[in-house]
Amino acid sequence: MCVPKYPVFAPLSLEYRAELEPFFEKSDSGISEFTFPSLFVHRTKYSYQISCSGPGQYIFTAGIRGKKYFFTPFKIPEPMVLERLFFDFDTWNLISGEQFLLFSDIAGLDRSVFEQSAFYNSSPEESCLLMEGETGAEIPLEFSGIKLLANENKKNWDYIYKREKLATLSGKMLHKKKNLVNQFSRLYSPEFRILESGNDSIGHALSVLEEWHKERENFEDKSFYDYYPAKEALENFSSLGFSGAIVYIDGIPAGFTIGEKIPGISHYAVHFEKGLTRFKGIYQYLNQAYARLLPEDIEFVNREQDLGDEGLRQAKLSYKPCGMIKKFSISRL
């Protein structure tokens, strides 16, 4: 089945995977959301719909907390289509650096305002400075008579780490993390196994997810709650092409990691990481153990965004990212 032609939209489904995969394979934006498996398991949470306005011009729409937005993982639609989309939706979201520069030219925006999409060679100190504030640079602009506001949307930036650094935890800045992992290993003697559909490991990971879920049932704000996407990722683990691992303590499933290689570049995205917090140090252990498990040809690990959660931001910064994947947004005023 083909993706419907714009302006007709249809819910994202597995039927469109064969059509979309070649475009994901050619993409090199590095954005963690831009893989078919990731979009598919989040399709219900964000009410993803899809349409196609031209060759490679796939338009996804989404909605959360009453806000509607669209994003274009591959090619930018023609100006007339963009104009209509800005009237129909609140925001154009998840814009890669390359796409933003292309739109800057279309809209007559000064490229120097936003210089580059990724900072892989920045120091940890520079990455921390980049993450000060939630929105980053903002600039008003006008496109086809529509007043817009462009910004860097920092809460959606992806945190990038060198795989080798996460695997070794070398250096003074990560010394406390390494000590905690060593204490965890001495105290619990964990067993780390690859997740596979052919044995009990998927069921065991689901049991961890259920316990993690129960610990959070009374949370007031569930907007960032990824229980259902994680559950679907486990239930469709092999068919969607995920990889992962699970840790056992005294034979008890205690935590798991799920991710995938990002097409086109030497990056691996960690999509889900869940652990039972009664085992102190479980998340630090999962982080290091999985980085050690990844193949040598994976140079960078993408641990996704902080979604504006200050606690999550500080936790991600504490691992000293080597850079960020910038994502821009443009909203209608």
Q: Is residue 323 part of a domain?
A: no
* pLDDT, the chain, mean: 91
In this predicted structure, what is the pLDDT of residue 118?
Answer: 47
Kindly tell me if the per-residue pLDDT of 6 is higher than 80.
Answer: yes
* 3-state SS class at 66: coil
208 and 278 both lie in a single domain: yes
Residue 296, pLDDT score: 94
What does the pLDDT look like over 311-324, one tens digit per residue?
Answer: 999 999 999 999 99
Residues 212, 145, single domain; the answer is no
Q: What is d(CA 187, CA 302) in angstroms, rounded to the nearest whole number?
A: 29
Residues 149, 181 within the same domain = no
CB burial of 46-57 (b: ≥16 within 10 Å; e: otherwise) equals bebbbbbbeeeb
If one compares 305 and 123, the residue with the highest pLDDT of the two is: 305
CB atoms within 10 A of CB 90: 15
- 128 assigned to some structural domain: no
By DSSP bridging, strand 243-249 and strand 300-302 are unpaired
When pLDDT is cut at 50, 70 and 90, the band that residue 282 belongs to is very high
Does 143 lie in the same domain as 79? yes
Q: Are residues 140 and 259 in the same domain?
A: no
Omega of the bond leading into 124 within 30 degrees of 0 (cis): no
> Is 139 in the same domain as 169?
no
Query: Does the structure show a pLDDT above 60 at 141?
Result: yes
Same domain, 96 and 210: no
What CATH number is attached to the domain comprising 100?
Answer: 3.40.630.30
Judgement on whether residues 222 and 144 belong to the same structural domain of the protein: no
Among candidate residues 310, 318, 261, 309, the one with its CA nearest the CA of residue 287: 318
Interval 39-68 mean pLDDT? 95
- Residues 113 and 166 reside in one and the same domain: no
Is the residue at 1 inside a domain?
Answer: no
Q: Are residues 176 and 196 in the same domain?
A: yes
Sheet holding 10-11, edge to edge: 10-11, 49-52, 58-64, 67-71, 91-95, 328-332, 146-151, 138-143
| 283 within a domain of the structure (yes/no) | yes
Round to whole Å and give the CA distance between 326 and 324.
6
The parent domain of residue 179 ranges over 159-304
Q: Is the pLDDT of residue 220 over 70?
A: no
